[in-house]
Chains A and B, each alone.
Chain A
């Protein structure tokens, strides 16, 4: 592009190397400096510390449920009746949009614990309603069964089950 002045081959090589090194090291430094500015938007230490919730199951009667809060989202904790469990297990073989056995969705069959967030667009479904006596999402008409599986409507997936463990018979730790 520009007129080249007669420079010795070594000089050109040394110069090119220096420019590439300067640009390269400068770019690496810039990239490293950007990271803290990105990472500061990730959940902070106090938010992460609240990422587990303990729920006392003792007060939940058979056939009723509570809504706990985990990571700012509703979690349905349902003490299922024998009929509900039976219906859920019977439908394992039904035509499911998102096939999953009821046994894979619970640790103890009488306790169904799942996120109360419709997998369509994030509304909170209503309990004990819909065509399958499970949950019904009023926003766009998705029907979930007594295992929280999607049966009818626009939602693509079953209500997700969060990671949880039983600390003892009446205490469960979600997260």
Chain B
């Protein structure tokens, strides 16, 4: 049913800007597979977190001062004096972690169900671009409170660019706007930290546009075939996503109200001091796997290349995966490999938080090698040699079969 406005006012607007029809189309006409599990909730949760971060960020910037002498104190001013300032700041700081949690789950869901395969390669690429922009935004945001970790994190990460042959030092000086991380650096990071989220919004719009062009993937990985395979997004998935949101908000609140500093680092409550480095520099938890890969190589340029390579090869995933089956449900070997890969990423996170010494170095290297072996070798090979399980004829058939077996189980 296409949208036919009855209200004359809506009609008038619709004739000039068909915006109500567009929303109507996305909610009612856009066919959504009927079998999406709760793993599909994390996409809308990521969108929700983006909005939370933008709103809390705009509000915080009303009270924050981007100057090396004032930044730390202005954050404490927010925490102590601004009405609900403590709430807004903890919301923003923990919100960044929550955003990464839902996005990581969203990415792993895509990996498990083969959501990156044709015809969704561009959708996958746009998602990776969002991920990269998120990392840049989060990194620059962490610099703003101008604590010890802010300062030294900024110093270490910007120095990575010094690894680039010939022009490295020039680029680092350009990034800093001086000869060390200082006030010009803080000012430009603040400016970019405010800008990038809106760039993310733009890419999110493209991401959703691309999604709606071919529709959502689903747990079977099958395309929509019959009319009975799909249902309208509203009310079925709006209410399902709202329930998911309520559950997620309880999780968020647990951190926000009862452990607001758990995901942070104590050193960032010490004002930045360019003359004293903290004993142990660690990035925020969401960067730890990449930090582990960086440190796995005993060479500056090599480490930097490998770290960026770890993300770059994700862009090749749609072509590296040779299997024509999308969902891991029907791929017995890939399913095992997927969970080993998840475990490997968690191991990298763990190693990234440890000092680079003793057994941690060895384990960091093993985990790094496996990360690349999984994507570059195992993934292409398993697609060629794996014997997939028989696929159901359609989404509807799969749903009915599941209902049947569930019925038997409850009867037994």
Contacts and interface: CB of A to CB of B under 8 A. Distances in A.
B219 interface: no
A44 B88 contact: no
Contacts of A40: 59, 62-63, 82-85, 88
Contacts of B59: 37, 40
Contacts of B81: 44-47
A153 interface: no
Contacts of A169: none
A45 B83 CA distance: 7
B316 to A, nearest CB: 42
Tell me if A's interface is mostly helix, strand, loop or mixed.
Answer: helix
Contacts of B63: 40, 44
Interface string B71-95: 0000001001111110110000000
B387 to A, nearest CB: 45
A36 interface: yes
B88 to A, nearest CB: 6
**Of A22, A42, A45, which is in contact with the most chain B CB atoms at under 10 Å from its CB?**
A45
B242 interface: yes
Contacts of B242: 22, 26
Given A26-B242, A37-B55, A44 B62 contact: no
Nearest to B84: A36
B77 A46 contact: yes
Contact of A36 (B62, B80, B88): B88
A44 B85 contact: yes
A39 interface: yes
Most buried by A among B77, B80, B81: B81
Interface in A109-162: none
A59 interface: no
Contact of A44 (B55, B77, B87, B239): B77
Contacts of B55: 37
B87 A36 contact: yes
A167 interface: no
Interface residues of B, number: 15
A41 interface: yes
B62 A39 contact: no
Interface of B: 55, 59, 62-63, 77, 80-85, 87-88, 239, 242
Contacts of B82: 40, 44-45
The 4 closest A-B pairs by CB, nearest first: A36-B84, A44-B81, A45-B81, A46-B81
The interface centre, meaning the residue of B55, B63, B83, B87 with most chain A CB atoms within 10 A of its CB, is: B83
Given A22-B242, A44-B63, A44-B81, 8 more contacts: A39-B83, A40-B59, A40-B62, A40-B63, A44-B77, A44-B83, A45-B80, A45-B83
A37 B62 contact: no
A131 B30 CA distance: 75
Contacts of B87: 36
Contacts of A42: 83
Nearest to A2: B1
A35 B87 CA distance: 12
Nearest to A35: B84
B62 A41 contact: yes
A145 B365 CA distance: 85
Contacts of B85: 40, 44
B303 to A, nearest CB: 42
Interface in A14-36: 22, 26, 35-36
A26 B238 CA distance: 13
Contacts of B84: 35-36, 39-40
A10 B82 CA distance: 50
24 contacts: A22-B239, A22-B242, A35-B84, A36-B83, A36-B84, A37-B55, A37-B59, A39-B84, A40-B59, A40-B63, A40-B82, A40-B83, A40-B84, A41-B62, A44-B63, A44-B77, A44-B81, A44-B82, A44-B83, A44-B85, A45-B80, A45-B82, A46-B77, A46-B81
B108 to A, nearest CB: 29
A49 to B, nearest CB: 9
Contacts of B77: 44, 46
Interface string A41-71: 1101111000000000000000000000000
B197 to A, nearest CB: 17
Interface string A84-115: 00000000000000000000000000000000
A39 B77 CA distance: 15
Contacts of A36: 83-84, 87-88
A132 B239 CA distance: 71
A24 B83 CA distance: 27
Contacts of B80: 45
Nearest to B60: A40
